[in-house]
Amino acid sequence: MNQRVVITGIGIYSCLGNNLQEVRDSLYNGKSGIGIDEARKEFGYRSPLTGLIETPDLKPFLSRRARVGMGQPAIFAYTSTREALGQAGLDIDFLENNETGIIFGNDSTAEAVIETVDKARLKKDTTLIGSGAIFQNMNCTVNMNLSTIFKLKGVNFTLSAACASGSHSIGMAYLLIKHGYQNRVVCGGAQEVNIYTMGSFDGLGVFSVREDDPTAASRPFDRDRDGLIPSGGAATVILESYESAVKRGANILAEIIGYGFSSNGDHISNPNLDGQTRSLNMALSQAKIDAEEIDYINAHATSTPVGDSTEAQAILEVLGDKVPVSSTKSMTGHECWMAGASEIVYSLLMMQNDFIAPNINFENPDEHSAKINIINQTKQQKINCFLSNSFGFGGTNSTLIIRKVS
């Protein structure tokens, strides 16, 4: 079986905005979502810079029972998924009666786990931790909560693959639909934003410390970058077989035509040119298109010297020096587990509105970024086909290629 796989709904909750419209405007205007969280300094962070995002109150939408098992990842993911399902025209009645799966990317629940352990230490009695903790603590928290709330009855597991989690979740759902095992899957990525989750990452000394100018701190591909900025929220992408989408009269946003993946089998944190090029080449070969057909590349580039340089070399080697490239992390910071899904949403918003969002703060190239076509000002341009990279710790690589449906 070889079904076409299309996207029928997207949703977003990020430091660029609380919904698709706000995020589209931020992308177009090159507006950064980065700021300072003073609590991080007090906690011992080297850098207080972060994507600024509030935790939404779900009381107007969900019962107490539904909410007690939800920590930040599930709360963010509920918000983006609600928007995506709405756009896709999928309500709970439909979902309850038409098998729909969920594969969500997530790789931490640090805040919930730490608060649980603190409570257990204080009370010395596990009953007094409360009933919600277990459902907040498990890494599959988004899947457990959303499958219950939205009555999803298809495939149901969490995808944990570091900063490529969101991208692989889409890739995995794509494969399940393509080969006929599912007709519809809710995918995406969630990333908690709090002082507990990023402390150990900050400890590696890879975060920017440009505190005097937070919105200029994330500068992927720029010669003068000094590190990444952690961020988060959630993004949802609804995947569906083409036949299923047409049958129910859904609005088709685009089609997934390629998913490449690879593992470096090398260093735990350093990127690897061979691993990245294998992922890119696999996606291109699966899409059965030439590099020239790619109108835009949403780069993984996080604003670290070694990561950006390696990706610039991989892009040059596989896709050449002409394709427009930008890293939306220049505005969002690194949305980690969520990034691979949010960057599909960002790129789809560009595709729908005929523009390329800028790689803000790209002022001076380095040796490798000088050789590719990085866009640092909003560019009006039709995008028929785009490619999005996601690379994670442990050497996990993912590449998605998405095209308009003709």
Partner 1 sequence: MNMKNTKLTQEEIIETTKTFLSEEFEVDENSILPDNNLKETLDLDSLDYVDLVVVIEENFGIKLTGEDFKEIVTFLDFYELVEAKL
The CB-of-128 to partner 1 minimum distance in angstroms stands at 5
Q: Which stretch binds partner 1 (CB under 8 A): 127-135, 231-239, 358-366, 368-376?
A: 127-135
In one-letter notation, the amino acid at residue 286 is Q
Q: Which of 266, 257, 271 is nearest to 299 (CA)?
A: 271
Of 127 and 406, which CB lies nearer to partner 1 in the complex structure? 127
Does the protein bind partner 1 through residue 125 (CB under 8 A)?
yes
The 298-327 site mask, x for binding partner 1 (CB under 8 A), equals ------------------------------
Q: Is 188 within 8 Å of 80 (Cβ atoms)?
A: yes
Among residues 15, 140, 163, 385, the one annotated as catalytic is 163
Q: How many Cα atoms within 13 Å fall on the side-chain side of residue 98?
A: 15
The CB-of-153 to partner 1 minimum distance in angstroms stands at 21
Among residues 334, 336, 368, 385, the one annotated as catalytic is 334
Residue 190, SS3 per DSSP: strand
Does the protein bind partner 1 through residue 205 (CB under 8 A)?
no
Does the protein bind partner 1 through residue 265 (CB under 8 A)?
no
334 catalytic per annotation: yes
The CB-of-58 to partner 1 minimum distance in angstroms stands at 12
Q: Which stretch binds partner 1 (CB under 8 A): 26-34, 129-137, 330-338, 363-371?
A: 129-137
The residues in 44-63 that bind partner 1, with binding defined as CB under 8 A, are 63
Q: Which stretch binds partner 1 (CB under 8 A): 45-53, 126-134, 234-242, 369-377?
A: 126-134
Using CA atoms, how far residue 230 sits from 71, 221, 332, 337, 365, in Å, is: 18, 17, 9, 11, 23
The CB-of-37 to partner 1 minimum distance in angstroms stands at 29
Does the protein bind partner 1 through residue 128 (CB under 8 A)?
yes
The alpha carbon torsion through 390, 391, 396, 398 (nearest 10 deg) reads 20
Of 123 and 267, which CB lies nearer to partner 1 in the complex structure? 123
Q: Which residue in the set 57, 64, 212, 406 belongs to the binding site for partner 1 (CB under 8 A)? A: 64
Q: Which of 162, 179, 195, 233 is nearest to 11 (CA)?
A: 233
| Distance (Å, whole) CA 375 – CA 299 | 11
Residues 6, 13, 166, 159: is their CA dihedral positive or negative?
negative
Which DSSP helix (H) or strand (E) runs through 2? Answer: none
User: How many chain residues touch partner 1 (CB under 8 A)?
Assistant: 12
Of 115 and 366, which CB lies nearer to partner 1 in the complex structure? 115
Does the protein bind partner 1 through residue 127 (CB under 8 A)?
yes
The residues in 94-123 that bind partner 1, with binding defined as CB under 8 A, are 123
| Distance (Å, whole) CA 164 – CA 160 | 8
List Cβ neighbours of 46 (8 Å cut-off, separation of 6 or more): 202, 203, 205, 207, 209
163 catalytic per annotation: yes
| Distance (Å, whole) CA 160 – CA 142 | 12
Among residues 300, 336, 368, 385, the one annotated as catalytic is 300
The CB-of-130 to partner 1 minimum distance in angstroms stands at 5
| Distance (Å, whole) CA 22 – CA 38 | 26
Residue 103's DSSP bridge partners are: 157, 187
- Contact residues toward partner 1 (CB under 8 A) are 63-65, 68, 123, 125, 127-132
Q: Which residues are catalytic?
A: 163, 300, 334
